[in-house]
Chains A and B, each alone.
Chain A
Amino acid sequence: MTALAPAATDAPATRARPRVRAPWVLIAVAAVLVLVSIVRLITDANDITSSGTAGAALRLAVPIGMAGLGGLWAERAGVVNIGLEGQLILGTWFGAWGAYEFGAWWGVLAGIAGGALGGLVHAIATVTFGVDHIVSGVALNILGGGVTRFLSALIFTDTPGGGVTQSPSLPRIATVTAPGSGALRTLEEKHWFVVSDIAGLLGGVITQVSLLTIVAVVLVPVSYFLLWRTKFGLRLRACGEAPGAAESLGVNVYKMKYLAVIISGGFAGLGGAFLSEVATNIYREGQTNGRGYIGLAAMIFGNWRPGGLAVGSAIFGYTDALQLRSGGESMHALLLLLAIVLALLGAWSLWRRRRLQGIASLVVAAGALVWYLGSDTVPDEFVGFAPHITTLLVLALAAQRLRPPAADGKPYRRGEAG
Chain B
Amino acid sequence: MRNVVSAAVAIVVITAVFGFGYPLLMTGFAQLAFSSQANGSLITEDGKVVGSKLAAQGFTSAKYFHERPSATSPAYNAGATTFANLGPTNQQLAKNVQAAARAILKLEGPYNPGLTIHDIPVDAVTTSASGIDPEISLAYAQLQSARVAAVRRLPLATVKQLISKYTIGRSWGFFGEPGVNVLELNLALDKESSS
Q: Do A and B bind each other?
A: no
Question: Which residues does A use to contact B, with CB under 8 Å?
Answer: none
Question: Which residues does B use to contact A, with CB under 8 Å?
Answer: none
